[in-house]
Amino acid sequence: MSWNPRSAMDLKREFLELALREGANRRELCRRFGISPKTGYELLKRHAQEGMQACTPRSSKPHKSPSKTAGKMEDLIVQLRQQHPSWGGRKIERRLLDLGHEGVPRPSTITDILHRNGLVTREASEASQHWTRFEHGAPNDLWQIDFKGHFQTNAGTCYPLTLLDDHSRFNLALNACSGMSTEHVKSSLHSVFQRYGMPARINADNGSPWGSPSAGGGGLSELTIWLVRMGIRISHSRPYHPQTNGKLERFHRSLKVELLNGRCYSDLEQVQTAFERWREVYNHQRPHEGIEMQTPMTRYAASTRSYPSQLEPIEYLPDDIVITVGWNGFIKFKGRKLRTSTALHRLPIAVRPDPNNDGCYNLYFCHQRFMRLDLNDTPPLNP
């Protein structure tokens, strides 16, 4: 197999950066990227000789010369700011260093240059803030997923679906969808799982299609049941507290400022093309203040958990009380009628006694605890 010509350079770079991680399964990565091992190892051989130039056509011209005069350096700073209007002094400094330029001024000097050229206002500078957030210890420990609202194109409504790795801030998916249905999400996740493997946990917002914990059933929906069946733990943001998915919210702010504000798109295809170009910059070029001015790609590695070809049978512990869920999510247990989730219809769940509280039980679907039953507060059915 060969590379998709539409985005061959981006795919080659991403493949190399993942394949060069310590302990990476290179043959598995070849399978995920849809190329033969021969093609993958040939690219790795070229990389050993040429570095990341192996991703570009051999006739490509090199980047700017690293030796520049002060005047040329200011021109570079202005050009980079014009290409990325939301980037400040620290990001521009790091990007110029990453490109191999010498004589790069300090961030404060770059900020002065931006002011001098009318590229940043005092109000915008005062509004910038630094945030400190909790971070999971390794890639794929937690992914955050959500839709970035919606906006109109000339051909209809676009619902951007975004997926972010918590540890690295690596953007795993940025898709222009025509709706927010379960099928839209499953289709996107199918592609992500095939390329990057699967995470330990996914955190989602409340409401459709993720599920609604406040409505009972522990937030289990058709989509979350599919994910749980594959061994992924699911968690939900607290209702009315979007900061639980804070890194994704911050990603959405960057997406809005750098790509959506003041733009008009003809259709979803044009939006997706813009998304793919911006995602390349975000993952591979844009220094991120939340990860010490590194780029997300430098901190990400593909998951060792591969996407299963089929779902495993549902099994529970020997001492569990297993009940098959009926219509509308109802079950009967010890003379009580309890509603779980309608998405569990005809599926087996486990009722497990709480060893520390008499009359209390925890309800599980596969590994996921989704409800608690207290018989002391649940009256029995009328005889």
45-49, 101-105, 117-121, 292-296: which range is least confident on average? 117-121
Residue 225: what pLDDT? 94
- Give the DSSP letter of residue 148: -
Summarised one tens digit per residue, pLDDT across range 266-295 is 999 999 999 999 999 999 998 888 888 899
- Token readout for 252 is 């959405």
Residue 6: what pLDDT? 53
If you average pLDDT over every residue of the chain, what do you get? 85
The mean per-residue pLDDT over the stretch 13-22 comes to 92
Summarised one tens digit per residue, pLDDT across range 57-98 is 655 444 554 444 477 888 888 888 888 887 888 888 888 888
**What is the CA 204 to chain-centroid distance, rounded?**
11
Q: Are 360 and 373 a contacting pair, CB within 8 Å? A: yes
Q: State the residue for tokens 């937030």.
A: 219
pLDDT of 158 > 60? The answer is: yes
Using alpha carbons only, how large is the chain's radius of gyration in Å?
25
For residue 9, CA distances in Å to 151, 270, 280 come to 30, 19, 10
Per-residue b or e along 336-348, where b marks 16 or more CB atoms closer than 10 Å to that residue's CB: eebebbbbbeebe
Q: Which residue has the higher pLDDT, 63 or 19?
A: 19
Residue 66: what pLDDT? 47
pLDDT of 119 > 80? The answer is: no
**What is the CA 264 to chain-centroid distance, rounded?**
25
Backbone angles phi and psi of 201, in degrees to 5: -145, 150
Residue 382: what pLDDT? 52
Q: Are 167 and 109 a contacting pair, CB within 8 Å? A: no
CA distance 371 to 76: 57
CA distance 311 to 213: 25
Backbone angles phi and psi of 156, in degrees to 5: 150, -170
Q: Give the 3-state secondary structure of residue 189.
A: helix
Q: Are strands 360-365 and 348-353 parallel, antiparallel or unpaired?
A: antiparallel
pLDDT of 343 > 80? The answer is: yes
Q: Which residue has the higher pLDDT, 207 or 334?
A: 334
Residue 179: what pLDDT? 95
pLDDT of 313 > 80? The answer is: yes
Residue 371: which residues within 8 A CB-CB, separation 6 or more? 216, 217, 218, 340, 362, 363
pLDDT of 11 > 60? The answer is: yes
The mean per-residue pLDDT over the stretch 146-171 comes to 95
Share of the chain above pLDDT 70, in %: 86
pLDDT of 364 > 90? The answer is: yes
Instruction: Output 48-53 pairs: Cβ under 8 A, ≥24 positions apart.
Output: 52/13, 52/16
The mean per-residue pLDDT over the stretch 243-255 comes to 83
CA distance 32 to 12: 13
* Per-residue confidence band for 131, with pLDDT thresholds at 50, 70 and 90: very low
- CATH classification code of 143-269: 3.30.420.10
101-115, 139-153, 156-170, 231-245: which range is least confident on average? 231-245
The side-by-side arrangement of strands in the sheet containing 360-365 is 321-324, 348-353, 360-365, 368-374
Strand pairing partners for 324? 348
* Per-residue confidence band for 1, with pLDDT thresholds at 50, 70 and 90: low
Residue 158 belongs to what H/E stretch? strand 156-165
Residue 124 belongs to what H/E stretch? helix 122-127
Q: Are 146 and 248 a contacting pair, CB within 8 Å? A: yes
Q: Are 279 and 297 a contacting pair, CB within 8 Å? A: no
* Per-residue confidence band for 53, with pLDDT thresholds at 50, 70 and 90: confident
For residue 46, CA distances in Å to 52, 72, 80, 212, 369 come to 9, 32, 29, 50, 49
* Per-residue confidence band for 320, with pLDDT thresholds at 50, 70 and 90: very high
- Token readout for 16 is 């190399």
pLDDT of 214 > 60? The answer is: no
